[in-house]
Amino acid sequence: MSPLPEPQAVTAPLSTAALVLVGVVPEDPAACTTVRELCADLPGLVRSVGFREPAAELSCVIGFGAEVWPRLFGAPAPAELHPFTALDGVHSAPSTPGDVFLHLRATRPDLCFELATQVLARLGEALRPEVEVQGFRYFDNRDLLGFVDGTENPTGPAVARAALVPEGEHAGGSYAIVQKYLHDLPAWNALDAAAQERVIGRRKLDNVEIDDADLPTSAHRLLTTVTGPDGEELQIVRDNMPFGSPAAGEFGTLFLGYAADPAVTETMLRNMFLGDPPGNHDRILDFSRAVTGGLFFAPSVPALEALADSAPAVSTPDTPAAPGSDLGIGSLRP
């Protein structure tokens, strides 16, 4: 198998600071042009800001939603890219507006802040921000519920296998699912540690797995373990970050899962919200409420460079389209 094209910073190690932006591109060809120009200039912006402190390892991933892809690029969208599927069970996972996704990471929050400022200044009215989350690493990689987060992330060569499309036109790219969860910490903290551990499926202090036989089938660890037809566990790369405002009483987790196939992440979410079997929902959702949801595709570096130079084909009265040819975005699948 030939080497994969260079990916964006999808497989970068977990950082101590992150900033995630999700925005909507107006129905305006000029806005689409501005976004494509940013695709070409983004690596230079990252270098300019990151050069102030190279050791901070500033990086940025940009991804695009299914509905904006044909407007931006005209080229066929990645095969598995589609609008995020809302889930309605005992608890709901909403699908919320989002055309462009930006994931900024560094060891210092000021670099993420500066890069986001520069990016939004470049985009101007071409992007209407819908979600902004400034995350931080909390103690020993714990979430605000007090448990270590991301323990099941793959390591070594398995990271690329889990996160990157292995072949085809979009090889080296990655599907990202992004959700913002808000926690009811007073209700969660009213549980004793043993009850919390049964919800999560791990011991709180040392992060060791609790034996499956000693857990309810609704434990978070069990419902988010997905296996393929051959029984092998299917993995994703999580880059979750806590966020919050003590003064506002807001405490949450930004869930971000990169995957070579979004169906893996979607299966985990269906198990959580709808149950496996149906009705056996993840009890963590009794304390954590999903308020946003989006699915995006982050192209490889060379694909992003090529897409920056592309534009949808537009026929005009002076240059009619040939019979049977594509007539613009209406002929492309969403």
Residues that are catalytic:
149
Q: Which residues contact 78 (CB under 8 A, 6 or more apart)?
A: 165, 170, 173, 175, 297
Only one residue has tokens 């049964």, namely 198
Distances (CA, A) of 134 to 17, 45, 108: 8, 19, 12
| Encoded amino acid at 23, one letter | G
Per the rule left: phi > 0, alpha: psi between -120 and 50, beta: everything else, 322 is beta
Q: CA–CA separation, 226 vs 267, rounded Å? A: 7
Cα-to-chain-centroid distance, residue 107: 19
Beta-bridged to residue 87, according to DSSP, are 93
Give the DSSP letter string of 107-170. Answer: SSHHHHHHHHHHHHHHHGGG-EEEEEEEEE-BTTTB-TTSSB--TT---TTHHHHHHS--SSTT
